[in-house]
């Protein structure tokens, strides 16, 4: 079918997104076509444009956070039907590999191909200007229709609004799981969340749900600090120095139990102050993506080792999509997890470059592209 999509023809050059006609193929074996209701604007797509995540191929159809309705299924698909409501998970899970069966489906073997530039079978479902187009995360949600592997689709109940559900494809579980699983949040903890955008605001919510006592949201943008309390932040700080002072006061100088880093781009100078405000035996979770070629960091390794601190990376907040996407949808239904309030502004696909400018300008918790019915 002919449709439209937002492409980068020269990733890594800050060229912005080109909204143009694309040709989308129907589903092959193990795939489905989905009509999207909405797509979130996650910082990870911007990393493709800036080159923080370099792509050796082009063009790419961006977008990896969406939800919609299944319109067609390919051969061999037995667990989905036309009309099902689905969240598109930015990481697929096969359910069979060692990582999947050991409860770490965020690190499924299939994940190794999500930035490979083709569908899992090595061919393209999208074409533009006579060329095969790769999709971000096998998905490419910056288009109103997508044809994707069903390993990336998670069915949800039909009473969950699809616009809100779109965010459960990446930013929400990543932030929430960073607190709930990766940081192993405990009742009564003091936690610092550094960077409260679309990902970090969900780490705030996860911390509240796990019963953290002091939840300090750090962000240089005033509107983020003003919004943070409605998601569960008990205190806010504009920078790390201010946060460190609050932590010292709450913990008698001991330090925070957990520090979660969810800034837009992970740069090395954050690590040492984050470590200094973490207590002995505490955990620092790194959720943000760093520039891929970043190698040199300044960190007091002696203290890290001798104070038994844990520096913990996380992919997808250590969540298991097939368990945690419906779980978060249910938390939303019960009023425990806010999704609608994360959406600061809605955009049409044609205005996607404005949406990214607004993200870079710190204007939105989450911007969302909404597609017509
Ligand atoms: N690990 C994963 O699996 C995973 C998944 C999704 C996104 N990510 C990454 O998470 C990061 C956050 O994504 P997002 O969509 O929430 O981005 P975002 O741009 O919506 O939010 C980032 C926030 O960090 C704030 N910030 C920037 N510098 C800061 C600093 N020095 N101190 C405190 N706050 C600061 C910004 O004002 C903004 O509010 C990105 O790097 C993204 O690529 C990782
Ligand atoms: Zn994302
Ligand atoms: Zn797997």
DSSP string, 15-75: ---EEEEEEE----TTEEEEEEEEEE--HHHHHHHHTSS--SS--EE----EEEEEEEE-T
Calculate how far, in angstroms, residue 130's C-alpha sits from the geometric centre of ligand 2.
28
Pairing mode, if any, of strands 31-40 and 366-370? Answer: antiparallel
> What 3-state class would DSSP assign to 369?
strand
- The yes-or-no answer on residue 44 being catalytic is yes
Nearest to 250 by CA among 260, 263, 237: 237
**One fold for both 2-169+339-370 and 175-315?**
no
Tokens of residue 212, six digits:
């953290």
Query: Which of 41, 195, 206 most suits a substitution to test ligand 1, by most atoms within 8 Å of the C-beta?
Result: 195
Q: How far apart are CA 295 and CA 12, in angstroms?
A: 19
pLDDT of residue 32: 98
Report which bound ligand comes closest to the CA of 317: 1
Taking the C-alpha atoms of residue 180 and residue 215, their distance in angstroms, rounded to an integer, is 13
Q: Give the pocket of ligand 1 (CB within 6 Å).
A: 42-44, 47, 170-171, 174, 194-200, 218-221, 224, 262-265, 287-289, 314-316, 359, 362
Indicate the domain borders of the chain. Answer: 2-169+339-370, 175-315
Give the CATH H-level superfamily of domain 2-169+339-370.
Medium-chain alcohol dehydrogenases, catalytic domain (3.90.180.10)
The pLDDT tens digits for 88-139 are 999 999 999 999 999 999 999 999 999 999 999 999 999 999 999 999 999 9
Contact (Cβ atoms closer than 8 angstroms) between residue 269 and residue 295:
no
Ligand 3: centre distance to CA 102 (Å): 9
Provide φ and ψ at 222, rounded to 5°.
Answer: -60, -40
Name which CATH class applies to 175-315. Answer: alpha beta
**Which ligand has the minimum distance to the alpha carbon of residue 242?**
1
289-342 per-position pLDDT tens digit: 999 999 999 999 999 999 999 999 999 999 999 999 999 999 999 999 999 999
pLDDT by residue (tens digit) across 8-67?
999 999 999 999 999 999 999 999 999 999 999 999 999 999 999 999 999 999 999 999
The single residue of 47, 85, 235, 337 carrying the catalytic annotation is 47
């Amino acid at each position: 079918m002919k449709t439209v999509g937002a492409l980068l023809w020269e990733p890594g050059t800050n060229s912005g997104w080109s909204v143009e006609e694309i040709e989308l193929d129907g589903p092959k074996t193990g795939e489905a076509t989905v009509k999207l209701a909405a797509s979130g604007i996650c910082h990870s797509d911007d990393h493709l444009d800036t080159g923080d995540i370099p792509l050796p191929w082009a063009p790419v159809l961006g977008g990896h956070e969406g939800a919609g309705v299944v319109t067609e299924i390919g051969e061999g698909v037995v667990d989905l039907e036309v009309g099902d409501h689905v969240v598109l998970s930015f990481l697929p899970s096969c359910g069979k590999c060692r990582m999947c069966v050991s409860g770490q489906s965020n690190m499924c073997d299939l994940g190794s191909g999500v930035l490979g530039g083709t569908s899992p079978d090595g061919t393209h479902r999208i074409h533009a200007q006579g060329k095969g187009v790769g999709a971000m995360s096998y998905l490419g949600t910056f288009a109103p229709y997508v044809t994707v592997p069903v390993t990336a689709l998670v069915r949800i109940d039909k009473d969950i609004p699809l616009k809100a559900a779109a965010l459960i494809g990446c930013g929400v579980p990543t932030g929430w799981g960073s607190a709930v699983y990766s940081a192993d949040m405990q009742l009564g903890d003091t936690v610092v969340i550094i960077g409260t955008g679309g990902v970090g605001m969900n780490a705030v919510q996860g911390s509240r749900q796990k019963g953290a006592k002091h939840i300090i949201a750090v962000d240089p943008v005033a509107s983020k600090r003003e919004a943070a309390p409605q998601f569960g932040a008990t205190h806010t700080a504009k920078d790390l120095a201010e946060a460190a002072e609050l932590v010292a006061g709450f913990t008698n100088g001991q330090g925070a139990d957990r520090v979660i880093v969810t800034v837009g781009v992970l740069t090395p100078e954050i690590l040492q102050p984050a470590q200094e405000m973490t207590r002995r035996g505490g955990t620092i979770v790194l959720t943000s993506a760093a520039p891929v070629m970043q190698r040199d960091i300044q960190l007091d390794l002696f203290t890290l080792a001798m104070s038994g601190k844990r520096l913990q990376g996380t992919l997808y907040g250590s969540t298991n999509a097939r368990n945690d996407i419906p779980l978060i949808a249910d938390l939303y239904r019960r009023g425990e997890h806010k999704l609608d309030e994360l959406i600061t502004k809605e955009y049409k696909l044609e205005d996607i470059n404005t949406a990214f400018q607004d993200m870079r300008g710190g204007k939105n918790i989450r911007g969302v592209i909404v597609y017509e019915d």
